[in-house]
Amino acid sequence: MRKFKKIASLLTAMFLVSSVFTGCSQKESKPTQTTTKTEAKKDAPTQTADKAPDPIKLTFVNWGSAEDSTKPAFDAMCDKFTELNPHITIEQVAYPYNSIKDQLLIMSSGGNAPDLAQLKAEWVVSLNNANVLEPLDDILPKAAIDDYFPGLLAGTKYDGKMMSAPWAPSPIVLYYNKTLMQQAGYTEPPKTWAELIEQAEKIAALGKDENGNKVYGLGLSSKKLPGAGYFFLVNMWQNGGELLDDAGKIMLDSPGNVAAFTEGQKLIKSGVSPEGLEIKELRNLFAQGQVAFHFDMEAGVSVFEKGSPKGKDFAKEYGITFIPGVDNAQGETFAVEHHLIAFKDSKNKEAVGQFIDFLTGPEGMKVYNENNGNKLPARNSVGALEFYTQEENAVLKPFVEALSFARALPAANEAFIMACEDIAEALQRVSMNNEDSDKVVKELDQKVKEKYKQ
């Protein structure tokens, strides 16, 4: 009886929130939502009455138009699409980044789903499990689907269906501090994982910089947060470990993963890597010139410029290269990306497919970069844009090249985020509590299998 009351209360709450959105779509003012609308341009080409298609309005839920830094780009992309397709208008519905997944679940469960939405890759699984998404295989042109980078496309598949489209991906690469390397006797970045560890150890042995600050060889995120867990996948992969096999089965209990945790234990306990920090704290240390090697995405470029006392001049002191692997310069890495999803309740699925094709394709990405800059391609054809070959954007070259082999995060299970937090906790256990790696990895394997119901 108590369980029944809880379910009834939840349904009532969902109905009330859904009602709020319905009211907003009728232009009532509500503080939780910002709506912008892009209408067809007045000077758009006209068509004869017997050939003009019926007017269509698509509702596009996103967080990009809710943020001052990206709103101009989102408005410009919608304007351009309407210019090319005068019968289609785009109504943008803006929600803050942290609330958009929950809002979409509420809206779609209440029968008020938009036509399409922007979503973080790790959140797609929740909407897919709610059975509210439209597979993109049938509404995107085959040429567009074949154009996505294979590694990114693999991260969109659920039971063999493409349930989302990758957009503006960010591959993880290696930033290296040239000054610290030179002080330790190195003139070239490491070409293999073993060289990376060796150089990191020798740089850490320098002790302190000229200001008396401790110098670290490698920034290793070990705070108990999901981000620390999926960044540690890089270390697991280079040591021959994996989270999942090809069939989706957990395979954490392996020699490769034990080696990765043992290596992480040594790096942190010996002071080669700092202890218990998250990614934003590591970014700050790198910007201050206290970390020699740092894994990050292209956003690091602007972060380091703002965080370094040297400002723009700090860019002269660091380089960017691929994460080194076991025996070559292209070690395993991953990309984090935004995704675009379509809803099965949309009455205009063909137009939704057109819009997603536009946003992720050369025309849309050209507008995106002209108005916001430094957004990377999810498709091969976009990588050929002149924007990426311009001298002022040369810093993006290794990121664009890394997209050809970067993996998508294995996030097609709602337990993935919890598993990443468990990985971060396991790293803390071996490095801070000095627990045995083999024992910790075995317990981690069992814990994650339970979450995955395996």
The structure tokens 């692997």 sit at 325
Higher-pLDDT residue of 109 and 19 is 109
Q: What band does 137 get if pLDDT is binned at 50, 70 and 90?
A: very high
Whether residue 4 lies inside any domain: the answer is no
Inform me whether the pLDDT recorded for 339 exceeds 90.
yes
**292 domain-assigned:** yes
Neighbours of 454 (CB within 10 A): 13
pLDDT of residue 307: 94
Query: In whole numbers, what is the pLDDT of the chain averaged over residues?
Result: 89
435 with 393, same domain?
Answer: no
Confidence (pLDDT) at 6: 39
Q: Taking the mean position of all CA atoms in its chain, how far away is CA 302? A: 17
Say if residue 346 is in the same domain as residue 435.
Answer: no
Residues 442 and 319 grouped into a single domain: yes
Q: What is the domain extent for residue 276? A: 173-333+410-451
**Is residue 231 located within the same domain as residue 320?**
yes
CATH for 138 = 3.40.190.10
Q: Within 10 A of 214 (CB to CB), how many other CB atoms are there?
A: 14
Closest CA to 335 of 192, 189, 177, 167: 167
* Judgement on whether residues 341 and 328 belong to the same structural domain of the protein: no
Q: What is the pLDDT of residue 38?
A: 43
Q: pLDDT-derived band of residue 42, with 50, 70 and 90 as boundaries?
A: very low
Same domain (yes/no): 311, 201: yes
Same domain (yes/no): 153, 185: no
Per-residue confidence at 50, pLDDT binned at 50, 70, 90?
low
Do 288 and 203 belong together in one domain?
A: yes
Residues 79, 18, single domain; the answer is yes
Average pLDDT over residues 61-84: 96
* pLDDT, position 451: 97
- pLDDT of residue 327 exceeding 90, the answer is no
Is 432 domain-assigned? Answer: yes
Q: What integer is the mean pLDDT of 284-297?
A: 97
Question: What is the tally of structural domains in the chain?
Answer: 2
Does pLDDT of 23 surpass 90? no
Among 50-59, 92-101, 230-239, name the one with the lowest average pLDDT.
50-59
330: pLDDT confidence band, cut at 50, 70 and 90?
confident
pLDDT of 114 over the 60 cut? yes
Neighbouring CB atoms inside 10 A of 345's CB total: 15
Residue 20 pLDDT: 35
| pLDDT beyond 80 at 390 | yes
Please count the other Cβ atoms lying within 10 Å of the Cβ belonging to residue 158. Answer: 16
Q: How confident is the model at residue 48 (pLDDT cuts 50, 70, 90)?
A: very low
Percent of the chain with pLDDT over 70: 89
User: Which of 206-215, 257-266, 326-335 bottoms out in mean pLDDT, i.e. has the lowest?
Assistant: 326-335
Residue 18 confidence (pLDDT): 39
Considering the domain architecture, whether residues 324 and 364 belong to the same structural domain is answered as: no
User: How many C-beta neighbours within 10 Å does residue 29 have?
Assistant: 8
344 and 320, same domain (yes or no)? no
Rounded to two decimals, the pTM is 0.86
Query: Do 370 and 390 lie in a common domain?
Result: yes
Q: What is the pLDDT of residue 285?
A: 97
